[in-house]
């Protein structure tokens, strides 16, 4: 009788990425997963829904919860986003706090550390100091020492999510820490968001990049219709909801130039993501009270009641 090698134990669990807006959570998620599942812009507060990206590392499946950036909420939408962020952290097996190396311990970081301390260490937290290419080594070490003096982190990582430095080490460490158990998603699945929402997020990203005013936080995009065609292509109809008539003109642009450019950029990215032809049609509609409609929050994966 021949000996057979034991099958490696499978592991699976949830990791919440938290931090201030623009700390690099979406970039890190996309780097970990190896595909673009979370929108990345230079505007703050672009991540609204708790997007889950799935990464495979050896026998471990790591499900990342990309939470909205933690900030001081002013409106109902802000409050719902912050509640979603803390909810994502509480539900996870591990939390990774991202801090920007060049910004250091800001008021926002201090508030997050206070929140973590108040929640009593129920979930282990690792520290990832991001954008390390912007800071000299002595300053990095001093920042790591300062942060570890304020909170008992399980481990500290120095990374650049954009360039990929240190990301493999972080992913390997997270994989080892996942609970033993069956994988939660099929091996070829990278995100558990419906494709309709991913498509809407891609269009919203293009609008956010194109429009440099405060307007992007007053708009939302919904995929109204998704039709699979016989030739293998897809027809996607989306509505861009804005809060005021004046916003509609800004989104459309002179002679419709802005919406045409957004539609083209979004269609090209969708075609690359789906690996097939896409026919994308955008409409802009004024919906004054969309920020107060429970249905809009559900579309974004947020709880309307959390904004009360």
Burial of 254 by CB count in 10 Å (0-12 exposed, 13-18 middle, 19+ buried)?
exposed
**pLDDT of 81:** 61
Compute the distance between CA of residue 115 and CA of residue 3 in angstroms, rounded to an integer.
52
**pLDDT of 6:** 47
**Phi, psi of 134, deg, nearest 5:** -95, -5
* Predicted structure pTM score: 0.61
**pLDDT of 46:** 44
* CATH fold for the domain made of 11-177: Rossmann fold (3.40.50)
Cβ atoms 116, 151 nearer than 8 A: yes
Give the sheet arrangement for strand 60-66, strand by strand. Answer: 51-57, 60-66, 11-19, 94-100, 125-130, 156-158
Break the chain into its structural domains and give their ranges.
11-177, 195-307
**pLDDT of 87:** 62
User: 3.30.1380.10, 3.40.50.10680, 3.40.50.620, 3.30.300.20: which CATH number matches 195-307?
Assistant: 3.30.300.20
130: which strand partners? 100
**pLDDT of 40:** 45
Q: How many residues does the chain have?
A: 308
The pair of three-digit structure tokens given for residue 202, joined into one six-digit string: 């891609």
**What separation in angstroms does the CA of 154 have from each of 151, 176, 187?**
9, 13, 29
Residues of the chain with pLDDT under 70: 1-8, 35-52, 66-90, 120-121, 188-194, 212-217, 290-308
Compute the distance between CA of residue 271 and CA of residue 153 in angstroms, rounded to an integer.
41
CA 193 to chain centre: 11
**pLDDT of 43:** 45
The pair of three-digit structure tokens given for residue 251, joined into one six-digit string: 């989104």
Helix (H, G, I), strand (E, B) or coil at 139: helix
Cβ atoms 20, 158 nearer than 8 A: no
**pLDDT of 66:** 64
Give the pLDDT confidence of 41-69 residue by residue, as tens digits: 444 444 444 556 788 888 998 888 766 55
């Amino acid at each position: 009788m021949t000996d057979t090698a034991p099958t490696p134990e499978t592991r699976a669990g949830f990791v919440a990425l938290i931090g201030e807006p623009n700390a690099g959570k979406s970039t890190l998620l996309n780097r970990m997963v190896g595909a673009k599942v979370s929108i990345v812009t230079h505007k703050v507060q672009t991540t609204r829904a708790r997007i889950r990206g799935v990464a495979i590392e050896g026998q471990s499946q790591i499900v990342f919860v990309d939470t909205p950036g933690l900030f001081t909420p002013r409106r109902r939408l802000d409050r719902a986003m912050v509640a979603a962020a803390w909810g994502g952290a509480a539900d996870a097996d591990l939390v990774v706090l991202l801090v920007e190396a060049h910004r250091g311990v800001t008021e926002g970081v201090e508030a997050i550390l206070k929140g973590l301390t108040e929640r009593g260490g129920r979930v282990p937290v690792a520290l990832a100091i991001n954008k390390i290419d912007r800071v000299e080594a002595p300053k990095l070490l001093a920042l790591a020492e300062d942060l570890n003096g304020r909170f008992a982190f399980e481990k500290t990582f120095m990374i650049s999510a954009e360039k990929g430095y240190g990301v493999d080490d972080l992913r390997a460490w997270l994989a080892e820490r996942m609970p033993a158990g069956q994988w939660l998603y099929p091996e070829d699945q990278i995100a558990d968001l419906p494709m309709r929402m991913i498509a809407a997020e891609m269009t919203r990203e293009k609008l956010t990049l194109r429009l440099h005013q405060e307007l992007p936080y007053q708009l939302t995009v919904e995929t109204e219709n998704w039709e699979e065609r016989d030739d293998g292509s897809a027809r996607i109809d989306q509505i861009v909801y804005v809060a005021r008539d004046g916003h509609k003109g800004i989104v459309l642009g002179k002679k419709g130039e802005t919406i045409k450019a957004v539609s083209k950029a979004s269609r090209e990215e969708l075609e690359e993501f789906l690996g097939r032809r896409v026919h994308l049609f955008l409409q802009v509609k004024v919906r004054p009270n969309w920020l107060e409609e429970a249905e809009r929050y559900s579309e974004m994966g947020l709880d309307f009641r959390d904004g009360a």
